[in-house]
Structure 1
């Protein structure tokens, strides 16, 4: 309870006002009682005056003893006085309630107590009313805010800096609303992304499927020479291979974007991963008599997913082979910086226009200048996704007709 009062400003204010009110009422009550006691003293003093006057008038020679009897506490003649009062009916129980002075003071005392009690009740009820009204209004606002969040009409306010349980609730509602809005926005983006992916897949599959359908119809319906049949079959086989590669890439992209691929970083040799990627591309490179040269470097054990990092490097190397002419060269240089291992892949192919640097990493993007070259436009997109998911990046530098250099940055920790 004490902790709640400390943390809630309104509770602090109410308790402070209540304590101040009680102190104020206590002071008033004390003043009233003091005045009552003072009146009793003055009344008793008047009685003493009348009593002393009567005795001194009758016994002037005993004036000193009479005054001393009143001023000093001497019980010598107390019993005599009591018996005298009893003789005339002035015993303690009887005379107290019939005494006019006592009745007056008792009435004053009861009225004072009643006034103080009523004031305290009014103050407590007022404080309770203020507290209940405050809590009720806060709960109404919280209820409306929750309804607005449910209906997506909540207006996010600035974070509350004041203390108090209700301010913490409002702050949490702000966080909840922001979180829900973020998730809704992510869902919308994912929805649009899925639409784009379906559209891109449909577009990419149409061409090879149309080719397969055309040549298959010719094979079935036309009387062809053996050489023509073989040519059509080889064309179909190329389309089938293209479809197979495209589907593999699409599956990898969809799994990666849906977080179905778990990139697992382990401490492994970067030289081993790089050599595997080079060996995978050597067959395609040899068909165009392209040499893949790797400068010697000191091997490093760094945390990376060797399988998917190899896939990323292979895609870059495959592009370098694809867009390089016969008898070309691909040079690979590995450098070490403070935070990264940098893999530079340099080719002497057709090069890339500077305005295309950002576009080439987009999914299914292909420049008009390379539409005649076989490709799907997903390799570099997938490579960057893989590297970025491990905390790295890929950048490109190139000039038209002078080749391209792709730099892959892999984190060392």
Structure 2
């Protein structure tokens, strides 16, 4: 009797050991297969698995796979951005660098009259300033695209940003005898970063000065709505074609009417990126009587948190 009982216990233990061996062997093979799918970038399918440890393991492997794919995608995107930056920089810097080399070669000529020498020195200065502006703008553009630059918005008066922008372009406007006028501009608290907003307005005003005829006017206005306020920059220049109004804020885009003029197609794109960081946006439309009306929309002043 005892012998029979002993053999029954041994048989039960052996059966249990065999069952656990098969069970964990299946689990091992399933885990090995899922890891192989992760390494070969094949999607893990766990829809046919029963509830339990294997299903939970498959779900976790799937999460690991999705995270790895996301990181791989980000790395590939950053790689493409670096390649694009190098291509953009070489394209944008090619002409001014060629000009710099030409002017240096001319300045090295001993027989060059003093008057001509001064002319070439001035041209050389302008080209080096352009190269400096281009490189700074390109790197700023990439940092904005990647979200590296941290914005600190606050409730601030928009007039401060307008004053900074007008001061920056006043000399260029004065040379063309272009008047910059403010209409309906008053102290208005908006949610923004005054220095970055001033950079947007500088780009808009510089374009207005560049593409407007001498003795014309540029008007800066303000319209307040329920949640947003609109800052308008209106000029009497060549305007923007209707089929290009949605394109002018794209990277390196230059309209058909201005491609023969000096420019890089960076300013409006940078302005768009800055506006988006401030939770705002930019638009353009024809101005009454000719010219363009660029509008910057910014959020109205946010209510401060209640005191505890």
Q: CA RMSD in A?
A: 3.2
Check conservation: 1:156, 1:178, Cα contact below 8 A.
no
What displacement does 1:332 show? 2.4
Q: Structure 2: how far apart are the matches of 1:219 and 1:123? A: 100
Aligned match for 1:185, one of 65, 70, 73: 73
**Is residue 143 from structure 1 mapped to residue 22 from structure 2 by the alignment?**
no
Pair 1:199-2:52 in alignment: no
Q: The residue matched to 1:140 in structure 2 has which SS?
A: helix
Match of 1:167 in 2: 55
- Structure 1, unaligned runs of 5 or more: 1-109
Q: How does 1:307-326 map to 2 (within 5 A)?
A: 307-326=195-214
Q: Are the structure 2 counterparts of residues 246 and 131 from structure 1 closer, same or farther at C-alpha, using a change threshold of 3 Å? A: same
> Which of 259, 280, 284 is matched with 2:172 structurally?
284
Residue of structure 1 aligned with 2:251, choices 347, 359, 363: 363
Q: How far does the alpha carbon of each residue in 1:100-121 deviate from its partner, in whole angstroms, 9 at most, with x for none?
A: xxxxxxxxxx69xx78x94x98
1:63 corresponding residue in structure 2: none
Deviations 1:132-175 (A, max 9, x none): 53443234223322233234x22154889985444333223223
C-alpha displacement of 1:260: 3.6
Q: Secondary structure at the match of 1:264?
A: coil
Q: Partners of 2:44 and 2:238 in 1: how far apart?
A: 52
Does the alignment pair 1:227 with 2:94? no
Shift, 1:396, TM fit? 2.3
- Structure 2 residues not aligned, in runs of 5+: 303-308
Compute the TM-score of the two structures, normalised by the length of structure 1.
0.63
In structure 1, the residue matched to 2:264 is 376
Q: 2:184 aligns with which of 296, 305, 320?
A: 296
Distance 1:249 1:144, change over 3 A: same
> Between Structure 1 and Structure 2, which shows a larger proportion of helix residues?
1
How many residue pairs are counted as aligned between the two chains?
A: 300
What displacement does 1:182 show?
Answer: 2.3
Which residue pairs with 1:347 in the alignment?
235
- Deviation readout 1:31-77 (Å, 9 max, x if unpaired): xxxxxxxxxxxxxxxxxxxxxxxxxxxxxxxxxxxxxxxxxxxxxxx
Give the C-alpha shift of residue 380 in structure 1: 1.0
Cα distance change on mapping 1:209 and 1:300 into 2, 3 Å: same
SS in structure 2 opposite 1:294?
strand
By how many angstroms is 1:265 displaced? 2.0
Q: 1:209 is matched with which residue? A: 97
Q: Distance in 2 between matches of 1:394 and 1:161?
A: 51
Select 1:133's aligned residue among 14, 22, 25: 22
Q: Distance in 2 between matches of 1:219 and 1:189?
A: 44
**377-386 or 322-331, which deviates more:** 322-331
